Amino acid sequence: MNNFKKISVTEEARTELHDALNLTGAEVSINTLPAATSVPFVHSHKENEEIYAVLDGEGKAEIDGENVPLKAGDWLRVSPSAKRRFFASDKTVLKYICIQVKENSLQGYTITDAVV
């Protein structure tokens, strides 16, 4: 039995990796919004915070009514209860990764969780 699973991702509007990689502690999605489009809904979560990594392009996140500009290289953490929606700029695609994990669930990281 392998201790890893590898997949390749195609250029789709949204790819969820939970089932594809048999994830057990997080949900990860790769998202692409064409220029001048947005996620078609506002949402929040019950328990999960989201971490966004902007890979390409520009746009904005509307979080609890506040506009947060986004560009390639930006990282953003959003609390579960915050109402959010994402928009690509009129001129560029917005490509980002979203990592969803249960808020306050991290018990160890990097050095404290590594075994050498």
Chain segment 2-37, per-residue pLDDT in tens: 899 899 988 888 889 998 999 999 999 999 999 999
Which pLDDT score, from 0 to 100, does residue 111 have?
79
Query: By three-state DSSP, how is residue 7 classified?
Result: coil
**Angstrom distance (rounded) from CA 93 to CA 96:** 10
Q: Name the average pLDDT for the chain.
A: 93
Classify the phi-psi angles of 65: left when phi > 0, otherwise alpha if psi is within -120 to 50, otherwise beta. left
* This prediction's pTM: 0.89
Give me the mean pLDDT over the 33-43 stretch.
96
pLDDT band, residue 91 (cuts 50/70/90): very high
